[in-house]
Structure 1
Amino acid sequence: MVHLVLLSLFIIESVNGMSLLTTPPMKDGCHMVSPEVNILRVEEEAIILSFPIFDRALEVRNIDPLTAKYLITKDDRTEGGAYHGEGRVQQRDNQLWFLPAQAADSGKYICTYRNETYCVTGSIYLHVYESSSVDVEQLSYPIYVIVGEYLRKSCPSLGDFNHTDRLIEWHKGSSPAPPQAGSFLQERGRLVIPAVSRSHAGVYTCRLRALINEQQYKVSRTIVLNVEGVDPVTSTTSTTVSDLSVTSDPGLISSSSTVHTPVIQPAIIVFPREGEHFESLHGSDRELSCKVLTGCQTVDYTEVTWLVNNQSVESSYLDGRALQGGRRVTSVSEGCQIEVRLVVIAITEEDEKTELRCVAQNQGGRQEVVVRLQLEDSTFTWLVVAAVAVSCFLFMVSVFLYVLFKPKGNKKKDYFLARQNSSF
């Protein structure tokens, strides 16, 4: 009986996508959700703080983030010092805008939702660097590519700004000068390098002029491009080298040797298949796996990665809800197999329209496979829940009726003890 009840709770928990047995920790009467990812930016630029993990916590509890009333404060301020919709620092619904930011804005910010019966709070840490003490390594978004790869990179983390791609400009290093011919291209606000070489490695900065309240503000992001592999030597597949010697015998034929350049086999994606759909329940988690077959001698030069709507996971809207795991290499009969996993947390209807792309590439070529998530029809699951609940109810009724109408059996005769020669 106990096992049936626990099974029912487990199924209902899976359907709802949230735990029925645990609750977030509490502080000052408020449930505390997990902290947001830290934000590192530069002063004199526009910054928008948002709270996606906090918004997700409200959504799971059927609180519409669009209608919820928020209070955003700095950790060293009181509620009486809350921000408003005007001034240099403004609260706009569930976001905090810095127009522009200053180094003194660094600190921890608290976002709180409270009504008559429920309170939830989340936090995010913002570090604003002074222009003279910018740490490029901490501010940058690292990108790893291999020699010969076709690179097409969007300016990361601009989703909160209203902008057009033509307003974005890319520069290499600290120089604002336009790129030299052949170094890289700019296409609709994206950094494009048709064939990456070792010389392309370095720091790239994308700059945007954001128009807010009819005033322009600076916004910039920095990526560090790390290039792996060796630039190919310009040569044909086979080269004949003649060793001409001056000899006394004019009839002697000069010797020659042929040097063969090894042919690199392209990586082949063996799983998943193109166009495949992966079903998941609303609010549940889903783990996807990309398996690539390649030669064991080219494993170190074969890159396997997941893209979300043709963007890196960290630059997509799934940042914070999706995590790309490390690569695992195993030896198989055909060569070596590389496996890279992608975990998507708390799947919603919006994710059904998302294009998940596994990309495998090395010097031998490039292959892509596009898959999509699909919400599973919950009708069958609810039928299972109902069946378990009905089974539990019928079992309890059966036990009750059995105890109530249990046959008594033959009663034993009653006996009385009496002294001998006594009268009853």
Structure 2
Amino acid sequence: MVRLVLMFAAIIIEYVYGFPLIPLSVKDGCALVSEEVNLNRMEGEAVILSFGAFESVLKAHNIASPTAKYLITKENGTEDAAYQGGGRVQQHNKQLWFLPAQAADSGEYICTYRNETYCVTGSIKLQVYESNSVDMQKLSHPATAIVGEYLRLSCPSLDDFNVTGRMIQWHKDSSLNVPQRGRAAPFSQERGRLIIPAVRRSHAGVYTCQVRVLINDKQYKVNRILMLTVEGLDPVTTTTTTTTTTTSVPGLSMTYNPGLISSRRYSTIHTPVIQPPVIVSPVNGAIFESVHGSGLDLSCTVLTECQMADSTVVTWLVNDQSVESSYLDGRAVQGGRRVTRVSEGCHIELRLVVIAMTEEDVETELKCVTENQGGRQEVVTQLHLEDSTFTWLVVAVVAVSCFLTVVSVFLYILLKPKRKNKMDYFLARQNSTF
């Protein structure tokens, strides 16, 4: 019965919105959602489990309800062992909070949605390491940069916490327990991001972003580890030493200044540094909105040196995939690369045209990425659907106004009173004499 209902819902949504839904397998009367991304965390920190893929499936199949009941249990647990109340582990709607997490919390957690019609279930695996046996590699998030790149590092996986930029502190090559303050001093912070204006190979290493969050009027710590790898070679500075000595000529008597007998000159040759390309627009975090079914025309503009324009790569990525490899293939096309000369250098413009927006495109992450020998930069944007209520309201008002105007003109013509026929008159010629 559940399989039949889900198939029927998929057929309706495919007919209405024009895109197919991936069928879900069914086990024990519940539709199964693919596993979430595994989480690796350290004990003593606040941890929040969110079921992102689970929520996306419910939304895509249009079966989520504000009054739905969500139940989160640990593997091999029972529904009676739900995490309710104000204990160390608490369920809040579709999230599970560990305040704080312990090594014993490691395991697989099941989230189940159930109502009179549907039953959907998803799972996520959590691994909590003890502080004295933690492997930095398992906890780290990889990051890659190129020498010369203007780099902005964001503290990852903080979406579930109410965090502002002022709450984030960065440290380099520090341990998890005792961060070494001041090691990241050569760098700057901007709204919680670590800024490295020009990456060098010495910047490679382990970075820790430390956050203090307030939950239920109590402070908890949250740490995230980034492993930065730097590719490329630093610009080379070459020092050339030239030695000049005096030559003795027989039969010639000269007086020498001892300080001038041997002189040494130094000259420094600097290899020209290629400036990395800079994305002028769009800005990082921009949101592009369009109504359902309408098209969207995006443009990425990059500033670079004119002599590097031909070798500068500019491309669009959809959820970290090429447009051709993403789900937008067939509905989105990138092209129309254009190079124009400006006072600062050259602008490279690359367009991305989305033919028709659908519900599937909500929260889609678009990246404009540019790279050349000088470095690499990327900007992240998102797609949103506009609320079409106001648009339809305006259309309805205009349509009603036009209809009432036509009806008024018709009624005026129909009910216009007819004038009586006037008598014919003609002027008689008057004679001025009698």
**What range describes the TM-score normalised by the shorter chain of this pair?**
0.5 to 0.7
Q: SS where residue 208 of structure 1 aligns?
A: strand
TM-aligned CA distance change 1:345 to 1:133, over 3 Å: farther
Given that 2:236 and 2:271 are in contact with CA atoms closer than 8 Å, whether structure 1 keeps it comes out as no
> Which stretch of structure 1 is more off in the superposition, 218-227 or 76-85?
76-85
TM-aligned CA distance change 1:372 to 1:322, over 3 Å: closer
Given that 1:280 and 1:347 are in contact with CA atoms closer than 8 Å, whether structure 2 keeps it comes out as no
TM-aligned CA distance change 1:17 to 1:97, over 3 Å: farther
> Which stretch of structure 1 is more off in the superposition, 63-72 or 274-283?
274-283
1:78 aligned onto 2:78:
yes
Given that 1:149 and 1:362 are in contact with CA atoms closer than 8 Å, whether structure 2 keeps it comes out as no
Aligned-pair CA distance for 1:177: 2.4
Match of 1:163 in 2: 163
Query: Which amino acid counterpart does residue 68 of structure 2 have in structure 1?
Result: A
Matches within 5 A, 1:152-301: 152-173=152-173, 174=175, 175-180=178-183, 182-234=185-237, 242=242, 244-248=244-248, 261=271, 264=274
Q: Distance in 2 between matches of 1:347 and 1:305?
A: 22
Query: Which amino acid counterpart does residue 145 of structure 1 have in structure 2?
Result: A
TM-aligned CA distance change 1:259 to 1:186, over 3 Å: closer
1:324 aligned onto 2:329:
no
Aligned-pair CA distance for 1:193: 1.6
1:360 aligned onto 2:331:
no
TM-aligned CA distance change 1:181 to 1:203, over 3 Å: closer
Q: Distance in 1 between matches of 2:358 and 2:244?
A: 68
Match of 1:57 in 2: 57
Given that 1:148 and 1:362 are in contact with CA atoms closer than 8 Å, whether structure 2 keeps it comes out as no
Q: SS where residue 48 of structure 1 aligns?
A: strand
Aligned-pair CA distance for 1:280: 9.4
Given that 2:50 and 2:96 are in contact with CA atoms closer than 8 Å, whether structure 1 keeps it comes out as yes
Aligned-pair CA distance for 1:196: 1.6
Given that 2:237 and 2:269 are in contact with CA atoms closer than 8 Å, whether structure 1 keeps it comes out as no
Q: Distance in 1 between matches of 2:12 and 2:119?
A: 27
TM-aligned CA distance change 1:31 to 1:130, over 3 Å: same
Q: Distance in 2 between matches of 1:127 and 1:189?
A: 27
Query: Which amino acid counterpart does residue 214 of structure 1 have in structure 2?
Result: D
Given that 2:148 and 2:200 are in contact with CA atoms closer than 8 Å, whether structure 1 keeps it comes out as yes
Q: Which has the greater radius of gyration?
A: 2
Task: Structure 2: give runs of 5+ residues left out of the alignment.
Answer: 1-9, 253-263, 326-338, 340-349, 389-434
Q: Distance in 1 between matches of 2:105 and 2:380?
A: 42
Aligned-pair CA distance for 1:76: 1.9
1:13 aligned onto 2:14:
yes
> Which stretch of structure 1 is more off in the superposition, 366-375 or 34-43?
366-375
Q: Distance in 2 between matches of 1:327 and 1:203?
A: 34
Q: Distance in 1 between matches of 2:171 and 2:269?
A: 41
Aligned-pair CA distance for 1:187: 2.7
1:143 aligned onto 2:143:
yes
Matches within 5 A, 1:76-155: 76-155=76-155
Q: Distance in 1 between matches of 2:137 and 2:268?
A: 47
Aligned-pair CA distance for 1:83: 1.2
Q: Distance in 2 between matches of 1:32 and 1:289?
A: 39
Match of 2:256 in 1: none
TM-aligned CA distance change 1:81 to 1:302, over 3 Å: farther
Aligned-pair CA distance for 1:166: 1.3
Q: What is the RMSD computed on CA atoms of the aligned residues?
A: 5.0
> Which stretch of structure 1 is more off in the superposition, 99-108 or 257-266?
257-266
**What TM-score, normalized by structure 1, do the two folds share?**
0.63
Q: SS where residue 132 of structure 2 aligns?
A: helix
1:347 aligned onto 2:357:
no
Q: Distance in 2 between matches of 1:157 and 1:370?
A: 16
Query: Which amino acid counterpart does residue 20 of structure 2 have in structure 1?
Result: S
TM-aligned CA distance change 1:369 to 1:131, over 3 Å: closer
Identity rate, percent: 60
1:39 aligned onto 2:32:
no
Task: Give per-residue Cα distances to partners, 1:16-44, cap 9 Å, x unaligned.
Answer: 36536x63111110000111110110011
Aligned length: 335
Task: Give per-residue Cα distances to partners, 1:214-240, cap 9 Å, x unaligned.
Answer: 1111111100011111121346xxx88
